[in-house]
Structure 1
Amino acid sequence: MIYQTIRSDSDERGIVRLTLTRPEKHNALSALMISELTDVAARLGADASVRAVILEAEGKSFCAGGDLAWMRQQFTADRPTRIAEATRLAMMFKALNEMPKPLVARVHGNAFGGGVGLISVCDAVVAEHGAKFGLTETRLGLIPATISPYVIARLGEARVRPLFMSARIFGAEEAKTAGLVSMVVNVATLDAAVEAEVASYLAAAPGAVGRAKRLARSLGSPITDAVIAATIEQLADAWETDEAREGVAAFFERREPSWRS
């Protein structure tokens, strides 16, 4: 399968490198990338030859979050269209979270908003020292809705509340302390650290690995269809607010939003 916004390459061991390939947009999650990531998660999950997946990105950033041009389109859409688009985004995170393979993130540069969501559905996260993180949605008058179940499952409500509300940018060491990141290394040793992480899964029975992942998910914070549906509604609601219109307009007009005047 040939994709336009991602690339999937496997080696003879069954290790797949799943690469985000929109470097000119800092790998922001466009409608097409959302669809392609959902599709590839299903394909890799069903492929018995795949032993582990590395999620990485080209360019300066891991993922800048949701594509703002895609978000902007929601302001002129009707409610059913907003719900449909929010659902597609939510189903992408669900597909990656439930993929029955080890998913290891190789993180460099910035990971904001939906980028933190992508990290949160990974089983292990190796980040370089200079990486920056942030749940930046409220700066745009939005909320981190569809990623919220996975971020809270990862970090816990107490840690997430101030990060959700303040949209504060934080570094790799703080991300590790919070539990978002598993390991922080120098950029020169990033690839070696990722390789060591994925190689560890090759000693385990692949079927048992998938079942163990499902077991852990079943005992953690329940991310049910009802929970996901509620986040979809809240994202659609947020797209309908005056604050969201002002925040996204301010970004495109290269000015401060009204609440920062």
Structure 2
Amino acid sequence: MESLVLYSVQDRIATITLNRPDKRNALNPQLISDLTEAFIQSAEDDLVKVIVLKANGDAFSAGADLEYLQQLQHNSFEENVADTNRLKKLFTTIYYLPKIVIAQVEGHAIAGGCGLATICDIIFATPESNFGYTEVKIGFVPALVSCFLMQKVNETVAKEILLTGKTFDAAQALKYNLINFVTNSADIDQKVTEFALSLCRESSGNSLMVTKQLITQTINPTLERSLETAAQINALVRDSNDFKKGIASFLNKEKINW
């Protein structure tokens, strides 16, 4: 069986690739665990200075895996807390990683997939890419990622995109200040590599690490407390009737009447 996450290093750039193209790189516990391990490996790899996160296939990540969603319907509160903490570990590993993480988003980055991109330090996207935190449409809540999103966009934008669950293209994501660059699909590999190489060649590795630490540790000193609250909310919402109704309707491809 082919690995769900691929890891390679060239020119001091580690490339971590989501490798579930047949499932639109949807997140499940194994993929989340493998991603976390890959980022920890990159942090400990002396040959690596910058990390690029990308995906094989047509989508960056379409959110949660269908089988995973089915399982959530039967989880206990304790199992949901443990499951939420796995995702929290992935997000905080990327956020606090002592190396710069660049997301290369091609195709859809939806729900958890959008959250995964949001955590990264620098985000490139193609014009065709679509973003969205669509959790409210299925009775869920983007609890963990909201703690990070508020550091990138203002409260007005955060409320608009989290409460409506709407999807939006890369140009709009750029206006929201969610991403950094919009690059044509034919050029994105080259542009991301050039950007990563410029960091490797023109910036001190220690200075990059300390500057990232400075930003992450001062911009939101209460982040850990916020994430703990978000994890509890996440688990509680999974036990709600709206969540169960939303997931059942989604899995059965039925229109949800809220």
- Provide TM-score, normalisation by structure 1: 0.94
Counterparts of 1:1-261 in structure 2, within 5 Å, are: 4-11=3-10, 13-202=11-200, 203-259=202-258
Rounded to whole Å, the distance in 2 between the matches of 1:153 and 1:68 is 30
**SS across alignment from 2:187:** helix
Rounded to whole Å, the distance in 1 between the matches of 2:222 and 2:82 is 19
CA contact (8 A) 1:68 1:248 kept: no
CA contact (8 A) 1:119 1:180 kept: no
CA contact (8 A) 2:147 2:223 kept: no
AA in 2 matched with 1:186: N
Deviation string 1:6-30 (CA, Å, 9 cap, x unpaired) is 101111x211111000111111111
CA contact (8 A) 1:149 1:223 kept: no
Rounded to whole Å, the distance in 2 between the matches of 1:126 and 1:208 is 23
CA contact (8 A) 1:247 1:257 kept: yes
Rounded to whole Å, the distance in 2 between the matches of 1:17 and 1:101 is 13
Q: CA deviation at 1:170?
A: 0.6
- Provide TM-score, normalisation by structure 2: 0.95
Rounded to whole Å, the distance in 2 between the matches of 1:247 and 1:153 is 29
C-alpha change, 1:104 and 1:223, in structure 2 (3 Å) is farther
Amino-acid identity (%): 26
Root mean square deviation, CA, Å: 1.5
Question: Any unmatched runs of 5+ in structure 1?
Answer: none
C-alpha change, 1:45 and 1:154, in structure 2 (3 Å) is same
Greater alpha carbon shift after TM alignment, 62-71 vs 197-206: 62-71
Deviation string 1:216-250 (CA, Å, 9 cap, x unpaired) is 11221235322111111111111111111111111
**SS across alignment from 1:258:** coil
CA contact (8 A) 1:135 1:168 kept: yes
Question: Any unmatched runs of 5+ in structure 2?
Answer: none
Q: CA deviation at 1:69?
A: 2.1
